[in-house]
Amino acid sequence: MCGIAGLCQTDGSPLPQEAGPWVRAMTDRLAHRGPDGSGLWLDGPVCLGHRRLSIIDLSGGGQPMRSTAGELTVTFNGEIYNFAEIKEELLTHGARFQTSSDTEVILEAYRLWGPDCLARFDGMFAFALWDAPRRRLFCARDRFGKKPFFYTLQQGRFHFASEVTALEQLPGLALTLDPTALMRYLAYEYAPTPQTMYKEVVSLPPAHWLLLEEGRLRLERYWDMPVPDEDETRPVPELCAELRHLLARAVRRRMVSDVPLGVFLSGGIDSTIVAGLMASQSAVPVKTFSIGFSEASYDESRYARLAAAAYGTEHHERVLSAAQCADTLPEIISSMDVPMADASVAPTWLLSGVTREKVTVALGGDGADELWAGYEHYIGFKLAERYNALPAALRRGLVEPLARLLPSSAGYINPRLAVATFLRAAAAPAWQRVQTMLTALGPDTQAALLSPALREQAPDLLAPENLFAPTRQAYEHWQPPQAATPLARAFHVYVRQFLLDDILVKVDRCSMLHSLEVRAPFLDKDVAAFAARLPVRYRLHGCKRKWLLKKAFADLLPKEILHRNKRGFQIPVAQWLRGRLRPLMEDLLAPDTLTAQGLFNPTAVRGLMDAHLSGKADLRKPLWTLLVFQLWWHARRNGRGPEV
């Protein structure tokens, strides 16, 4: 796992002498991603930089790396898990290797197959490869976007880096706040790919490659999620056996490391399966890591201990208070290169720190919830169709009034808020339903919240069809329309948006801030394709989530874990905003601060705060989303930008 950065003159002319120091400044900003070494390579129109976290071939894997013949040079972030198999195939075609690194496999695979090499890679990666004979720069990102790649085309140069903050180190670049990205951030709690918070900076979409040649950029998708096969007729035991084989192989491939490795163990279904498969394939006890909370209502560490005992792991646990978690949040959010309003960033960051004390690589369960229907929202999507089939008089005259009488709670689940969210989602068109359940600030709220000056910069964006256009594109992605059911399309929305820009960003940034590599067996290309091809009923069976996954591993999972409901990291955001984090919120959302900033309506923001602080409404999501943006904004303003 590493950090990459670089420059390329679009017209092929030599870079200025300052290019080396510019790229060095970018890679220095990425030192947390690669504390074990740095490298720089400059040749004519291109300069590639690298920061290394040594995982495989500790002595011979330095980068940027050149091919044996010297015509290709690459800077690479990530891992190619099946590099040994690809290397064997390349040897039969006459390839020669100088190292045992997976990086060199990328060079030789590209030399032989060109962009088609990506179809063979099973991994998490982002890389830039200079093809000197063809005078072109070839860049790519993995299928699910586990590794980041940002770029901007300015001043006659293509600039790229693993994090946006690295691009901020370059002199003279325009970095201006994108009002459409801000509005979408407020709705999604992140800026959806390919947008970033800067007008000029783009995030390379997952499963895409980019080619810069003769001054032109070409972007192309190289992989897509399969459409569910509704004609699947194999017996359930056969499907379970195939899933076990694929996931066991995925875990085994991700256990290849020249440095110590372990596993994040929450005690949920997904991480417990990974830990169990690791334990069954390891000659020594597996190291497992979890955090717990001293407050009993938020602590689920007993499930992690139960799984650790079942598999005989070397378990490491750190017990924290919710107050400690809250106190770290400003530091964590200010360190992120992109604003992301997922409050579980705090325990993820803390868990990464605990894990890095013992190992350099950790496996986790990321991707299983999105691919196997782990979230309650999948059930909500399904039930919405049935709810809408009820007579309108019953829905509007009885159900909706009763919903407003439900109790409100500042705890993990607020019944009134949950039902109100479901009713809004049920009333939305099918393509918008998933995002309606996840949205922090919808169009109506934003219309009152945003300053008139900001709204004038994107006057039509607050129409739902425009604000949520990325969701509609993800939902309607497969063609023809009958290729997938509405519920199958909801899976695609989760994978191509929430997984990509929330879960994977959170894990990547939190782990990398501690120089820890995290691997995701559930996002193995064959495991993910197997899940995606299954008819939805095998993943959400009635209202039973992860149905086939649980069947396949029922004998491996402790019964208490097999039958427990999914719970994410429980963060008491509603209470924090009324207590421990209130002074910070009052400061960053103060009228004078907002007036000077010019983005938000101070009166409307104050109204949200007063309603939440008085207990009249649970506005944790919109207020938290605003607070995270303010923390990010002020951290960036103290650095380079953005300009408005």
Between CA 526 and CA 545 the distance in angstroms is 21
Report if residue 412 sits inside a domain: no
- Residue where the block lists tokens 């200079």: 130
Between CA 417 and CA 523 the distance in angstroms is 32
Q: Which of 2, 47, 117, 139 is catalytic?
A: 2
The two tokens of residue 63 are 């980068």
Q: Residue 246: which pLDDT band, with cuts at 50, 70 and 90? A: very high
Q: How long is the chain?
A: 644
Cα 429 off chain centre by: 26
- Mean pLDDT along residues 513-522: 97
SS3 assignment, position 12: coil
Asked whether residue 576 falls in the same domain as residue 556, the answer is: no
Is 70 exceeded by the pLDDT of residue 543?
A: yes
Most confident option among 331-345, 352-366, 399-413: 352-366
Asked whether residue 587 falls in the same domain as residue 543, the answer is: no
Is 240 among the residues known to form the active site?
no
Report if residue 405 sits inside a domain: no
Q: What angle do CA 278, 279, 282 make, to 5 degrees?
A: 80
Is 60 exceeded by the pLDDT of residue 443?
A: yes
Asked whether residue 305 falls in the same domain as residue 162, the answer is: no
Q: Are 34 and 514 in contact (CB under 8 A)?
A: no
Q: Residue 542: is it exposed, middle or buried by C-beta count within 10 angstroms (0-12/13-18/19+)?
A: exposed
Asked whether residue 549 falls in the same domain as residue 577, the answer is: no
Position 559 scores a pLDDT of 93
Report if residue 379 sits inside a domain: no
Q: Residue 320: which pLDDT band, with cuts at 50, 70 and 90? A: confident
Report if residue 625 sits inside a domain: yes
Show the beta-strand stretches assigned E in 132-169.
136-141, 150-154, 157-161
Report if residue 506 sits inside a domain: no
Q: Are 590 and 626 in contact (CB under 8 A)?
A: no
Asked whether residue 8 falls in the same domain as residue 150, the answer is: yes
User: Does 57 or 88 have the greater pLDDT score?
Assistant: 88
Asked whether residue 123 falls in the same domain as residue 261, the answer is: no
Asked whether residue 51 falls in the same domain as residue 165, the answer is: yes
Strands across the sheet with 72-80, in order? 65-66, 72-80, 123-131, 136-141, 208-213, 216-221
Find the domain containing 41 and state its range: 2-178+190-221
Q: What CATH number does residue 129 fall under?
A: 3.60.20.10
Q: Residue 405: which pLDDT band, with cuts at 50, 70 and 90? A: low
Q: What are the pLDDT digits (tens) for 573-620?
A: 888 899 889 999 999 999 999 999 999 999 999 999 999 999 888 899
Asked whether residue 272 falls in the same domain as residue 369, the answer is: yes
Handedness of CA 329, 330, 334, 335 (dihedral sign): negative
SS3 assignment, position 100: coil
Q: How far apart are the first and last CA of the chain?
A: 34
Mean pLDDT of the chain: 91
The two tokens of residue 472 are 């509609």
Asked whether residue 45 falls in the same domain as residue 142, the answer is: yes
Q: Residue 636: which pLDDT band, with cuts at 50, 70 and 90? A: confident
Residue type for position 627: L
> CB within 8 A of 63, min separation 6: which ones?
2, 39, 50, 52, 74, 75, 76, 103
Q: What percent of the chain has pLDDT over 90?
A: 75
Inter-CA distances, 404 with 166, 398, 515, 611, 617, Å: 48, 10, 47, 16, 12
SS3 assignment, position 9: strand
Position 410 scores a pLDDT of 52
Is 60 exceeded by the pLDDT of residue 412?
A: no
The two tokens of residue 232 are 């699947």
Asked whether residue 158 falls in the same domain as residue 43, the answer is: yes
Asked whether residue 243 falls in the same domain as residue 205, the answer is: no
Q: Is 57 annotated as a binding residue?
A: no
Is 90 exceeded by the pLDDT of residue 258?
A: no
Number of separate domains in the chain: 3
Report if residue 614 sits inside a domain: yes
Report if residue 440 sits inside a domain: no
Q: Where are the alpha helices (DSSP H) in 336-458?
A: 345-356, 368-371, 376-388, 392-394, 400-403, 415-427, 433-438, 443-449, 452-457
Q: Residue 413: which pLDDT band, with cuts at 50, 70 and 90? A: low
Q: Are 184 and 467 in contact (CB under 8 A)?
A: yes
Q: What is the DSSP letter of 398?
A: I
- What's the whole-model pTM score? 0.94
Asked whether residue 611 falls in the same domain as residue 637, the answer is: yes
Between CA 69 and CA 12 the distance in angstroms is 22
- Mean pLDDT along residues 625-630: 96
Q: What CATH number does residue 540 fall under?
A: 3.40.50.620
Q: What are the pLDDT digits (tens) for 85-126?
A: 999 999 999 999 999 999 999 999 999 999 999 999 999 999
Q: Is 178 annotated as a binding residue?
A: no
Report if residue 251 sits inside a domain: yes
